Structure 1
């Protein structure tokens, strides 16, 4: 029997808006992409304009549970588990292009492909850039959330310094859920909201035999090579990054300097890398602006 998802308990200090959001149960569904079962969560009515939420590396769709319900009244919101993450299948090797195809397939199956906006955090932003290249009809409005824009040399350096170098890919198991949660760490760590961090932590562990393990393949980044260059110049781009995050001004310039329309760039003072766990309301303010502009453009097309 499949284990029910964790995360129903919310810390006592969580504000009402957070409690209300995570109490809304999404639809849980799956589809098959290139031989792998890809799971996803969705909110709102099928056929409404889409909002596609893509998590970062070693994360999962549940990182968006407190964000997605805000938009369910007017959008078909979908958050997927990329292969190698969450409840989706693992692959022998991973490619950003394959993840981009997973995004497109899920958006289509979930009924979220029309007039869509894609929001990608960290690795999810790189997947979003690749999707904007491979699936331009789907991704015309893209929001990057503190995505580290790397060249091949930078990626190779990260891969060489992975802490699990030479260790078998099977994740470490812990004897109890409590033991696993005690070891939950954000990388890089910063001043996340305790209640948000605790919520995603409880959804990040799964029973494995007699123990518990994290819900991601520790080898998901070991062989990545197909880094996307930058989005097409026609993409309407927004960039949200933390003052202390991993996205540097040079990276922002790299992805915004060539665009037909000036990008929206928002730096969140005091924030680090995991923006949705540190400044979720500020992030939602930016998404609100993007969606309002997208809606206005759809109602009053020019050219």
Structure 2
């Protein structure tokens, strides 16, 4: 992918280096990045399946002027520890562990993309009293998230791929699902942060580079997100990508299950990975929502019709 002169916003965001931290949660070391003044209102960003904290690090520092911002690697992802078994409950605990460790004000906002949106829903369902709210980014609760769906049919993630050359590995980076466009410097940034050195084992393999996720992350069953939506009591908003996985019908269904109190915001011309193709639209939408939540009272839940 050809990269011309990077956008000014990208240069600004990536010139704001994070502090890196490790916090323990349920026996695993959880790695996270943090920006912004300690004690400020908190934002915790949760990536999707097979992704990592650096899917946010080119953008969310721009929210750190007046927020304490954290982006974590869930266990089995990025630079966090691995587990024998991955559960939604364990990932919820990791989100809260990061929020508690990151020196942010109490009651943060959790922002989760795709599978990370499901983690955010589950965190709110279990611990809504400890959150200001959650923002769900193109997480279609009426069907499996795309990474899980692809994994279960054996298309992707089943075997660890190792590449001898770093640049060759970068060139092979793909998203699931793929989409028609990406911001070139953003795509390159995420690809380069998705790789880790691979050391040879006892079976004669050669050293090289491999992806930063555990191929076993999608094996365990998960609770149905639709059952968790009814249990969310904190503030909530749903961002859907115009060309993403949350169709208007799915958005309407989620709106009903959330008690008709969650704004459904469409990000124009965005694919499922909206931070990779429409980052500034996403940033503007988040800023607008957060400003509103700072100066308004939450609406109470409306009765939910079963179905």
Q: What is the TM-score with the length of structure 2 in the denominator?
A: 0.86
Aligned position for 1:5: none
Aligned position for 1:66: 58
1:102-113 map, 5 Å: 102-112=94-104
Is residue 125 from structure 1 mapped to residue 112 from structure 2 by the alignment? no
Aligned position for 2:248: 249
| Structure 1 residues 293 and 253: CA distance shift in structure 2, 3 A | same
Aligned position for 2:263: 264
Distance across 1 between alignment mates of 2:193 and 2:173: 11
Aligned position for 2:71: 79
| Structure 1 residues 107 and 182: CA distance shift in structure 2, 3 A | same
1:1-303 map, 5 Å: 11-112=3-104, 114-150=106-142, 159-164=151-156, 167=158, 171-190=160-179, 191-209=181-199, 210-228=207-225, 229-231=227-229, 232-260=231-259, 262-297=261-296
Tell me the secondary structure at the aligned position of residue 56 of structure 1. Answer: coil
Aligned position for 1:3: none
Distance across 2 between alignment mates of 1:20 and 1:222: 39
Task: Tell me, yes or no, if the aligned pair for 2:138 and 2:238 is still in contact at 8 Å.
Answer: yes
Per mean C-alpha deviation after superposition, the further-off stretch among 249-258 and 12-21 is 249-258
In structure 1, the gaps of 5 or more residues are 1-9
Distance across 2 between alignment mates of 1:108 and 1:180: 36
Distance across 2 between alignment mates of 1:249 and 1:88: 35
Residue 155 (structure 1) shift: 9.6
Per mean C-alpha deviation after superposition, the further-off stretch among 263-272 and 145-154 is 145-154
Task: Tell me, yes or no, if the aligned pair for 1:230 and 1:254 is still in contact at 8 Å.
Answer: no
In structure 2, the gaps of 5 or more residues are 200-206, 301-307
Per mean C-alpha deviation after superposition, the further-off stretch among 94-103 and 110-119 is 110-119
Q: What is the TM-score with the length of structure 1 in the denominator?
A: 0.88
Residue 157 (structure 1) shift: 5.9
Task: Kindly report the root-mean-square deviation, in angstroms, between the aligned alpha carbons of the 2 structures.
Answer: 2.5
Distance across 2 between alignment mates of 1:277 and 1:256: 25
| Structure 1 residues 148 and 164: CA distance shift in structure 2, 3 A | same
Distance across 1 between alignment mates of 2:15 and 2:146: 40
Distance across 2 between alignment mates of 1:156 and 1:42: 28
Tell me the secondary structure at the aligned position of residue 14 of structure 1. Answer: coil
Distance across 2 between alignment mates of 1:124 and 1:207: 25
Distance across 2 between alignment mates of 1:60 and 1:162: 22
Tell me the secondary structure at the aligned position of residue 162 of structure 2. Answer: coil
Aligned residues: 289
Residue 286 (structure 1) shift: 1.1
Task: Tell me, yes or no, if the aligned pair for 2:114 and 2:145 is still in contact at 8 Å.
Answer: no
